[in-house]
Amino acid sequence: MDDSQNTLKWAAWLLILLGTFETALLGYAIATGGSFSGGSVLYIVAGIFLLRKNRTDYKIVQFYFTAFFSLLPALLLFLAVTAVQLHTATTIPLSWRMPWPAMALGVVYGLAVLALVALLHHPGTREALSLQPYRASVRTLYMPRLRFALLFCFSIAFVSLLAGPYLLTNPYKAITAELAASPAVVQAVGQVKRLELLSTMEQNWHVVSYWKVVGTKGQDRYKTELTSGTAVAVEAYGRKKNCVPEATPKSAGKKQVAS
């Protein structure tokens, strides 16, 4: 972007746009009973203060989104590690659903954050606020090279902390092996022929996953939780409770009263 353009206004309006987008997502989450966390209205307020050339607000926004930017490569790296782990988890045919609408929104949001970080560090923005411009190129999003390198080091450290003991070991090997060998699963669906991963997440080094298991006798859905080491808990979910009425013995002209 040319220095003659008013990059401060671009940054402010992009921040307001992100805030409007997050506010819409928050409203949708409330209406549908879901959950959402983000800057929402605060981004809009911060964008308005940027338009007024508030230097304090600029420094807060710059710090926040620069730190947030470091999470983007961490997320991509973690998704890549998870994809490799799933691909090598088992010899049973395994597939997983790709939430394309959510992924598309995530990509657009990530690109918007990258653009905002570049605009916030741009020499034109710094000059508009009477601040000393950074000596950096567009390749580092106009950030000083040392800061850029530190952010990527933080990304790697964050992924290592997030993955914990599963960075070098594959948690999905134990999970898929338990699904294939669990007596409850085998009794319900028979011999497991195919696995479909519906969703997975990791919290405090606990891997919680939801699966559709297809076997020789049918299919069912299960929740698995890997708590520590190779201990995997498996339970059915999404199954309707079967209300089986008691069999009433047939008797001619007689009524039975349960005592």
Q: Give all domains of the chain, ordered by start, each with its CATH number.
A: 7-90+97-165 (no CATH), 171-236 (3.10.450)
C-alpha separations of 239 from 221, 223, 226, 236, 248 in Å: 8, 11, 21, 7, 27
Length of the chain counted residue by residue = 259
Who wins on pLDDT, 138 or 258? 138
Quick one: tokens of 40? 């929402």
Quote the percentage of the chain above a pLDDT of 90. Answer: 54
Is the pLDDT at 25 greater than 50? The verdict is yes
Quick one: tokens of 210? 């939801």
- The pairs formed by 148-155 with CB atoms below 8 angstroms and a separation of 24 or more are 151/66, 151/69, 151/70, 152/70, 152/73, 154/70, 154/74, 155/70, 155/71, 155/73, 155/74, 155/77
pTM of the full structure: 0.74
Q: 226 and 232 in contact (C-beta within 8 Å)? A: yes
Name the pLDDT band for 39 (thresholds 50, 70, 90): low
pLDDT at 252 (0 to 100): 39
Q: Crossing angle, helix 7-32 and helix 41-51, to 10 degrees?
A: 160
Q: 159 and 78 in contact (C-beta within 8 Å)? A: yes
